[in-house]
Chains A and B, each alone.
Chain A
């Protein structure tokens, strides 16, 4: 939470905290880009920006929660791949198939998250290295189970494809999903005991413990949430594409982490808002879109992302936040 503003604003708008620096950046950015590129504000382009942002965005939302709790989850890339593969293998051709193809990966994602959470909060492992280790481990498991092959689903049901591809009032369903998740998280983080305890654990773990908060329970819950959301993202990818080559899915941890940091969530824990992450995701999506419009490919995008991360971290550090 950004303290001063939040308590005052919370009286005005008890649900969500808006009007933070990142939203201003987004607004300015959109205006500036729209002035320079007429193609920018066309409906297809906007939809394309939103769709591109959503996949990373869902992962980033999960990462925001974990980071507010004071830890890192860098295993999400592997969870995304695992979820996509499972979703496709389950074969979403029938009604129950579709249901399973959505629910099973999410359950598996939560399970992996639980393992991460236990390693970090129960065994005391460093979260960055442990989740990177889990990522390697999980990728190996996934690749081994499909023998490194490409997986394809047959007769995918319309409902399943609809998850990512269809539209509701002109907005892609995936975007609606993303928005709803962000909204729910914002409400939970700011207005429930559970959310507040996550901030407490991230802010000062000893203080939280002495206040009687079950730190391990809260911590594991954050990782389970992150795992579940990463899995949701994987399901959306499967829905989008219909077939999955495990080695070719990009790894979303880095863009997600960049977005989380850009949105103002502190790397030290205890500070952050899901809605700010949404704004940051949009900013990154716009930047990426601009680079594409200017014909810059993946490597430059990567470079730019790295620069954005450093600049964002440096800015917030300069503002006095702990990073």
Chain B
């Protein structure tokens, strides 16, 4: 389903002092394409996510969006480029309500820096309702919400702010089966609307059913890229563990 190339990562390298977290990572994500990033803990997935979302800058390498090479120095920069990130654990601030979380850092204002609470509540309510009509009571404390509802807020927020690339870090890790299914539906819908999705997950089965391509990371390097249709769960798992595809096969990396 991939059409044009949206994001290209070339030779992304990241060192922390003596630790080489990423070594020359290359891959790309197209518009309307779901690319899954899999690998062991410590393979470098989170670092890559943090680089793309502007938390760190790479030690070396280039990121380009729509053929324009860019560098982000902060999460705000990344968001300005249309990259929205949904983190596994740090999605929401428990002590703030839903509209506050929805617009955190990008609050709607009236005069003199005053918050436009009415408009924020309205916009947040509508956006989330469009996604999940079960989500009625926006005034409930975020702290009391289930994992799925919190994800819904985070996803609705990303859509509202016109994400071109949506990075999802372990979106279903803390969810039950029905909520996981809902997230799957959402991902497919976003894909059909042309949003590029980078899905980081340790759940290979999930990834096999959702992704257009799977990029396997081990020890900071890309050890292979496969299409689920042309591969198998076992092969992917093998790549995660052993680092090389079982059967040598040339794979296109577009």
Show the binding face of A for B, using Cβ within 8 Å: 1, 3-4, 6-8, 10, 14, 191-194, 196, 199-200, 202-204, 206-213, 270-271
> Contact between B92 and A212 (Cβ–Cβ < 8 Å)?
no
> Contact between B93 and A208 (Cβ–Cβ < 8 Å)?
yes
> Contact between B142 and A200 (Cβ–Cβ < 8 Å)?
no
Contact of A212 among B75, B117, B141, B142 (CB under 8 A): B75
> Contact between A194 and B113 (Cβ–Cβ < 8 Å)?
yes
Min distance, Cβ B20 to any Cβ of chain A, angstroms = 24
The residues of B that contact A209 with a CB separation of less than 8 Å are 75
We find that the number of chain B residues with CB closer than 8 angstroms to chain A is 32
The 3 closest A-B pairs by CB, nearest first: A211-B105, A270-B95, A203-B95
- Which interface residue of A8, A193, A211 has the most chain B CB atoms within 10 A? A211
Besides A192-B112, A199-B96, A210-B53, 4 more A-B contacts (Cβ < 8 Å) are A3-B96, A191-B114, A191-B115, A204-B95
The residues of B that contact A211 with a CB separation of less than 8 Å are 75, 104-106
> Does B133 touch A at the CB level, under 8 Å?
no
B interface SS class? loop
Min distance, Cβ A205 to any Cβ of chain B, angstroms = 10
Min distance, Cβ A9 to any Cβ of chain B, angstroms = 11
Separation of A206 and B76 alpha carbons in the complex (Å): 14
> Contact between B139 and A210 (Cβ–Cβ < 8 Å)?
no
> Contact between A203 and B96 (Cβ–Cβ < 8 Å)?
yes
> Contact between A1 and B95 (Cβ–Cβ < 8 Å)?
yes
> Contact between A6 and B104 (Cβ–Cβ < 8 Å)?
no
> Contact between A212 and B105 (Cβ–Cβ < 8 Å)?
yes
- Which interface residue of B92, B95, B109 has the most chain A CB atoms within 10 A? B95
> Does B223 touch A at the CB level, under 8 Å?
no
Closest to A6 in B: B97
Separation of A1 and B55 alpha carbons in the complex (Å): 28
Min distance, Cβ A314 to any Cβ of chain B, angstroms = 21
Contact of B90 among A10, A14, A210, A212 (CB under 8 A): A210
> Contact between A210 and B93 (Cβ–Cβ < 8 Å)?
no
Separation of A212 and B104 alpha carbons in the complex (Å): 8
Separation of A14 and B53 alpha carbons in the complex (Å): 35
> Contact between A210 and B87 (Cβ–Cβ < 8 Å)?
yes
The residues of B that contact A210 with a CB separation of less than 8 Å are 53, 55, 75, 85, 87, 90
Closest to A202 in B: B95
A interface SS class? helix
The residues of B that contact A194 with a CB separation of less than 8 Å are 113
> Does B91 touch A at the CB level, under 8 Å?
yes
Given A1-B96, A4-B139, A6-B97, A200-B104 contact (CB < 8 Å)? yes
Given A210-B85, A270-B93, A193-B141 contact (CB < 8 Å)? no
> Does B249 touch A at the CB level, under 8 Å?
no
The residues of A that contact B141 with a CB separation of less than 8 Å are 3-4
- Which of chain B's residues 84-140 have a Cβ closer than 8 Å to chain A? 85, 87, 90-97, 100, 104-107, 109, 112-115, 117, 139-140
The residues of A that contact B55 with a CB separation of less than 8 Å are 210
Min distance, Cβ B193 to any Cβ of chain A, angstroms = 24
Separation of A191 and B113 alpha carbons in the complex (Å): 8
Contact of B106 among A1, A192, A212 (CB under 8 A): A212
> Contact between B107 and A200 (Cβ–Cβ < 8 Å)?
no
Please, could you name 24 A-B residue pairs with CB atoms under 8 Å apart, sorted by A? A1-B95, A3-B95, A3-B97, A4-B140, A7-B97, A192-B112, A192-B113, A196-B100, A196-B107, A199-B93, A200-B93, A200-B100, A202-B95, A204-B93, A204-B94, A204-B95, A206-B90, A208-B93, A210-B75, A211-B104, A211-B106, A212-B75, A213-B105, A270-B93
> Contact between A192 and B95 (Cβ–Cβ < 8 Å)?
no
Closest to A187 in B: B114
> Contact between A208 and B104 (Cβ–Cβ < 8 Å)?
yes
The residues of A that contact B92 with a CB separation of less than 8 Å are 207
Separation of A101 and B205 alpha carbons in the complex (Å): 71
> Contact between A193 and B115 (Cβ–Cβ < 8 Å)?
yes
The residues of B that contact A7 with a CB separation of less than 8 Å are 97, 139
- Which interface residue of B55, B74, B105 has the most chain A CB atoms within 10 A? B105
Separation of A208 and B106 alpha carbons in the complex (Å): 11
Can you list, as one digit per residue, whether each of B40-61 has a CB less than 8 Å from chain A (1) or not (0)? 0000000000000101000000
> Does B79 touch A at the CB level, under 8 Å?
yes
> Contact between A3 and B142 (Cβ–Cβ < 8 Å)?
yes
Separation of A7 and B105 alpha carbons in the complex (Å): 19
Closest to B142 in A: A3
The residues of B that contact A270 with a CB separation of less than 8 Å are 93-96
> Does B189 touch A at the CB level, under 8 Å?
no
Closest to A194 in B: B113
> Contact between B97 and A196 (Cβ–Cβ < 8 Å)?
no
The residues of B that contact A8 with a CB separation of less than 8 Å are 139
Separation of A196 and B105 alpha carbons in the complex (Å): 9
The residues of B that contact A6 with a CB separation of less than 8 Å are 97
The residues of A that contact B94 with a CB separation of less than 8 Å are 203-204, 270
> Does B242 touch A at the CB level, under 8 Å?
no
Closest to A206 in B: B90
Separation of A271 and B85 alpha carbons in the complex (Å): 26
The residues of B that contact A10 with a CB separation of less than 8 Å are 117
Separation of A307 and B182 alpha carbons in the complex (Å): 51
The residues of B that contact A271 with a CB separation of less than 8 Å are 95
> Contact between B140 and A212 (Cβ–Cβ < 8 Å)?
no
Closest to B100 in A: A196
